[in-house]
Amino acid sequence: MRAFLFDLDGVLTQTAKVHAAAWKDTFDAFLRAEAARTGGQFVPFDAVTDYDTYVDGRPRLDGTRAFLRSRGVDLPEGTPDDPPNSPTVQGISRAKNDTVLRLIREQGVQAYQGSVDYVHRLRAAGLPSAVVSSSANCRDVLRAAGIEELFEVIVDGNTAKAEGLPGKPAPDTYLYAARALGVEPAHAAVFEDALAGVASGRAGGFGAVVGVDRTGQAAELRRDGATVVVQDLSELLGEEKA
Ligand SMILES: O=P(O)(O)OC[C@H]1O[C@@H](O)[C@H](O)[C@@H](O)[C@@H]1O
């Protein structure tokens, strides 16, 4: 492998669980109000299974659409100016973003030490790395974790929007990063904790797709595209550490 492409939330930083909590907060408020309005049952958002299946790894608006569709809810798209929690895809997405930013402000951002050590090892070996994230908040999160300077290339939700790239599980954002580093996908490794993310690694024909299993979904990561699964990148530093 000549280039290394890392997802952000859940691979480099401990922010996947913060996103999951913000999604749960937002969707539960919506579902509760819907149940009251229609007289139906309130079935809460599951921060593990619903998050992994519909939301994790995808661009924000795609996550909102995919989860609502899974509950048979069809909301108008709305506009980015819709007030948070308006019954539109944009309004719900905006509420979720307000919540995730508040949680990040309150809790700060921690990197995974194993990932930071791994990227340092790559740098010492002269091997380039990129961050490939669906998040529009990617740069702020990298900065808050103090690791922005470790990467040659950063492809995030804003890059995808500006370049018209479809988000994960499509391979386009990873392919864009590999091109920016001047490396063929067959010689680049993808590191992902999300099912949509390993699927984009597989779809892009990458030389290795490392599933990072933080939540006990190793089998699903393999099913959707991981060629190897670890619980933490420190496992890949292995005996060289001794
Ligand atoms: O809402 P943001 O910060 O642009 O992030 C979009 C998505 O980014 C992904 O990295 C997360 O796994 C998702 O949970 C998140 O929804």
Ligand 1: residue whose CA is nearest its atom 8: 135
- The answer to whether 114 and 234 have CB atoms below 8 angstroms apart is yes
Distance CA 130, CA 212 (A): 16
Distance CA 92, CA 95 (A): 5
May I ask the CATH architecture of the domain 3-15+109-241? 3-Layer(aba) Sandwich (3.40)
pTM score, whole prediction = 0.96
CA dist 3 → 20, 135, 210 (Å): 29, 21, 13
Residues 6 or more apart whose CB falls under 8 angstroms from that of 7 comprise 57, 131, 132, 133, 190, 191, 192, 193, 194, 197, 212
Can you tell me whether residue 11 is helix, strand or coil? Answer: coil
**Residues having CB within 6 Å of any atom of ligand 1:** 8-9, 16, 19, 55-57, 59-60, 63, 97, 133-137, 157, 194
Ligand 1: residue whose CA is nearest its atom 2: 135
- The answer to whether 30 and 85 have CB atoms below 8 angstroms apart is yes
Q: What does the pLDDT profile of the chain (242 residues) look like in tens digits?
A: 999 999 999 999 999 999 999 999 999 999 999 999 999 999 999 999 999 999 999 999 999 999 999 999 999 999 999 999 899 999 999 999 999 999 999 999 999 999 999 999 999 999 999 999 999 999 999 999 999 999 999 999 999 999 999 999 999 999 999 999 999 999 999 999 999 999 999 999 999 999 999 999 999 999 999 999 999 999 999 754 44
Distance (angstroms) between ligand 1 centre and the Cα of 166 equals: 14
Mutate which of 56, 62, 190 to test ligand 1's pocket (most atoms within 8 Å of Cβ)? 56
